[in-house]
Amino acid sequence: MSNVVYEQREVKRSRYAVAAVFAVHGAVTGSFATRVPWIQDHAGVSAGQLGIALAFPALGASVAMPLAGSVSHRFGARNALRGLIALWTLSLVLPSLAPNLLTLCLALFTYGATAGMADVAMNALGVEVENRLGRSIMSGLHGMWSAGALVGSAAGTLAAHLGSDARLHHVLAAAVLTVLGVLSCQWVLDLQPAEDEEPPPRFALPPRSALLIGAIGFCAVFAEGASLDWSAVYLREQLQTSAGLAAACTTGFTLTMAIARIAGDRIVDRFGAVRTVRASGVLAVLGGLLIVVAEQPAVAMAGFALMGLGIAVVVPLCFAAAGRSGSNPSLAIAGVATITYTSGLIAPSAIGLLAQATSLMVSFALVTLLSGGLVAFARVLRPGDRAKTGQADAAVPDPRP
């Protein structure tokens, strides 16, 4: 009985430790995003060149993510996450040091590669903890990522307001976040491969199950990327609002997503992954319709809020389903993460190109259409249903330490 109690305490402690790692990961992103204008000036690149450079984080992540499974297998989950999160936090320093376009692209490629591998490792551990607890936690973990991003953004905004050098800001931020990330990893589950377990290939394409689940994530991340990058522009150009009100719309969308993710686990536990995503898709479609038909700023802002509510929990549920979809969770999670990162890469530019050819209203009609895919294809997440997972966990004891 004492061993059972100890294991339960270990799993609960690991849950909070993984949540802290998610927050640290998000804080790095927020710290970087707020200093992009300083980095652009320091590197001496134009807006077009900056756009090219900002594609490299997603490229780096897409290339490196399939490697995460072999890293975890070789070093164990805890050591792998400790090393990868440290590489990610330290890579925050690189972009601000770049003196030109070439070095900036290389720095951002490295930044994205370390981000992607750490992302896979922490999501894989989050899925493992969720399985052992027998209830949904992935939405809350991603909510912690959003909270960390908000904290990092706030600190970065203050640093920019004070006119500080981004190199100094990012060195200090990287030092603090590295310490927090490494310390948090001390309490995550120390999963080790079984003696007879075959090592995963060093680089592998996503399994078919990950492609199906990734399609759902693609739709959600496309809507997220479009809303984050274009909501303020939509209000300014389509509805002629002030810059302040337009910025408030983007901030409201981000806050809505963070709150929905933190509260999302209770909804998933009660209704299951499939019904939750179907209902989320309905909310996202309604939000998209409000955006498209809006003639007043308040209507469009309500639409973006509904869009945020609708897509908030989808990506966490995709990771959870991927982690239970086959014999190699890390490989499936890496596949889903690669697809979602790709969606985040192409969404802003696709919206811009379509808007240039037609209008922003038509662009968000496309976002609304893709949001409908959440309703149509939610059934592929059925393996992530909490009731089924709970029954499986009760029937088959977990053999790993």
| Mean pLDDT value of segment 370-380 | 93
Instruction: Give 385 or 379, the one with higher predicted confidence.
Output: 379
> What pLDDT is recorded for position 315?
94
Provide the pLDDT for residue 309: 93
pLDDT of 276 reads 95
The helix (run of H) or strand (run of E) holding residue 380 is none
Name the residue type at position 113.
A
Closest listed residue to residue 314, CA positions, set 250, 224, 251: 224
| pLDDT 10s digits, 53-90 | 888 988 898 889 888 888 887 888 899 999 999 999 99
More confident residue, 149 or 294: 294
Question: Does the pLDDT value for residue 1 go beyond 90?
Answer: no
Q: Provide the pLDDT for residue 228.
A: 81
**CA–CA dist 230, 351 (Å, integer):** 8
Average pLDDT, the chain: 86
Q: Which token pair is 375? A: 């309703």
Q: What is the mean pLDDT of residues 231-237?
A: 86
- pLDDT confidence band for 52 (50 / 70 / 90): confident
What tokens does 129 get?
A: 């903890």
Q: Any idea where the domains of the chain sit in the sequence?
A: 1-189, 206-384
Instruction: Give whole-number Cα distances, 283 to 18, 129, 290, 311, in Å.
Output: 29, 29, 11, 8
pLDDT digit string (tens) for 302-349? 999 999 999 999 999 999 998 887 656 777 888 888 888 888 878 877
Give the pLDDT confidence score for residue 192 in this predicted structure: 76
Residue type, 282: V
Q: What pLDDT is stored for residue 316 in this prediction?
A: 94
**pLDDT tens for residues 97-142?**
999 999 999 999 999 999 999 999 999 899 999 989 988 999 999 9
Quick one: pLDDT band at residue 400, thresholds 50, 70, 90? very low
More confident residue, 9 or 223: 223
Give the model confidence (pLDDT) of 172-225 as tens digits: 999 999 999 999 999 998 877 666 566 665 555 566 778 889 999 999 999 998
What pLDDT is stored for residue 252 in this prediction? 82
pLDDT of res. 261: 92
Q: What is the mean predicted confidence (pLDDT) over 257-272? A: 91
What are the φ and ψ backbone dihedral angles of 92, each rounded to 5 degrees?
-55, -30
Predicted pLDDT of residue 53: 87
What is the structure's pLDDT at 350? 84
- 162: CB partners within 8 A, 6+ apart: none
pLDDT digits (tens, 9 = 90+) for 153-164: 888 888 888 889
Nearest to 231, CA basis, from 311, 186, 179, 288: 288
Fold of 1-189: Growth Hormone; Chain: A; (1.20.1250)
Measure the CA–CA gap between 401 and 192, rounded to whole angstroms.
Answer: 8
- pLDDT one-digit tens code per residue, 243-263: 778 878 877 888 888 889 999
Fold of the domain built from segment(s) 206-384: Growth Hormone; Chain: A; (1.20.1250)
Interacting residues of 209 by C-beta distance below 8 A, sequence separation 6+: 322, 325, 326, 332
Q: In the 3-class helix/strand/coil scheme, how is the chain assigned residue by residue? A: CHHHHHHHHHHHHHHHHHHHHHHHHHHHHHHHHCCHHHHHHHHCCCHHHHHHHCCHHHHHHHHHHHHHHHHHHHHCHHHHHHHHHHHHHHCCHHHHHCCCHHHHHHHHHHHHHHHHHHHHHHHHHHHHHHHHHCCCCHHHHHHHHHHHHHHHHHHHHHHHHCCCCHHHHHHHHHHHHHHHHHHHHCCCCCCCCCCCCCCCCCCCCCCHHHHHHHHHHHHHHHHHHHHHHHHHHHHHHHHCCCHHHHHHHHHHHHHHHHHHHHHHHHHHHHHCHHHHHHHHHHHHHHHHHHHHHCCCHHHHHHHHHHHHHHHCCHHHHHHHHHHCCCCCHHHHHHHHHHHHHHHHHHHHHHHHHHHHHCCHHHHHHHHHHHHHHHHHHHHHHHHHCHHHHHHHHHHCCCCCC
Token pair of 266, please? 């209770």
**pLDDT score recorded for residue 203:** 55
